[in-house]
Structure 1
Amino acid sequence: MSNRRDHRTSRTSLFDGLDGLEEGRLRTSSSYPHDISEHDNDKALDSLQDRVSFLKRLTGDIHEEAETHNRMLDRMGNNMDSARGIMSGTMNRFKMVFEKKSNRRMCKLVAYFVGVFLIIYYLLRLLRYIKG
């Protein structure tokens, strides 16, 4: 019998906060402030919408920036390819020039001339610096 009493007392303590039934719903005796909760939810929802729109703009900006960089890298790659073509053509011409002995002698002569010219130029500059 005491078991039955314990069961009843635990049941009444469980449903103690309920006053009764109202339109098929249970109504609690403590009036929970639904308006404040909905207001807080609306604030949180607005804040979340602001954050989502900010993140959307941010991802759009990142996408634009990445596209700009991709285009710039493509142009740079094309320029490097054309420069590589020009350099390989120049190297092929140098190879042809150095294959013949007469051309090799002419290149040596031009190199010596340029070297002597640079030495004379720097000596004259040095003399002007010393006098001045």
Structure 2
Amino acid sequence: MNPRRDMRNSKAALFDCIEEGGLRASSSYSHQSLEINEHENERAMEGLQDRVNLLKRLSGDTHEEVDSNNRMLDRMGNDIDASRGILSGTMDKFKMVFETKSSRRMFTLVASFVVIFLVMY
């Protein structure tokens, strides 16, 4: 058998009819082509579905992480506000102590800071 002749026969079988302005594939070829295309489309759809599911999980995880970070930042803001209030009260007390010219109070304040420092050390 001649390979060129077989090739020509297979080409002729693929394009056996000419219709108005185009080629029409033989029925056996078009049926096989449809099955192959459907199979490829299904695989592509499954791949896309897997990617969509992955993106959905990632976006859900990102949403949870953002919510968690927002709660943590809110707690930190509240803690900073509370410490700012305490620090403001302490500064007001220091101003009051330094405004009074009593050397005895100043000595008591310095001595108490030294004692507290030594106890903590």
Q: Identity rate of aligned residues, in percent?
A: 52
Shift of 1:101: 1.1
SS at match of 2:17: strand
**Is contact 2:18-2:24 (8 Å) kept?**
yes
Match of 1:10 in 2: none
Structure of higher RCO (CA pairs closer than 8 Å, 6+ residues apart): 2
**Is contact 2:17-2:25 (8 Å) kept?**
yes
Match of 1:111 in 2: 110
> In structure 2, do the counterparts of structure 1 residues 68 and 111 end up closer, same or farther at CA, with 3 Å as the change threshold?
same
TM-score, structure 1 length as denominator?
Answer: 0.62
**Aligned counterparts of 2:105 and 2:84: Cα–Cα separation in 1:** 27
> In structure 2, do the counterparts of structure 1 residues 55 and 34 end up closer, same or farther at CA, with 3 Å as the change threshold?
same
Within-5 A mapping of 1:21-60: 27-29=24-26, 31-32=29-30, 33-60=33-60
Match of 1:5 in 2: none
TM-score, structure 2 length as denominator?
Answer: 0.68
Shift of 1:106: 2.5
Deviations 1:54-103 (A, max 9, x none): 1001101100100110011011001100100110011001111111111x
What runs of 5+ residues in structure 1 fail to find an aligned partner?
Answer: 1-16, 120-132
Shift of 1:114: 6.5
What runs of 5+ residues in structure 2 fail to find an aligned partner?
Answer: 1-14
Q: Specify the structure having the higher radius of gyration (Cα).
A: 1
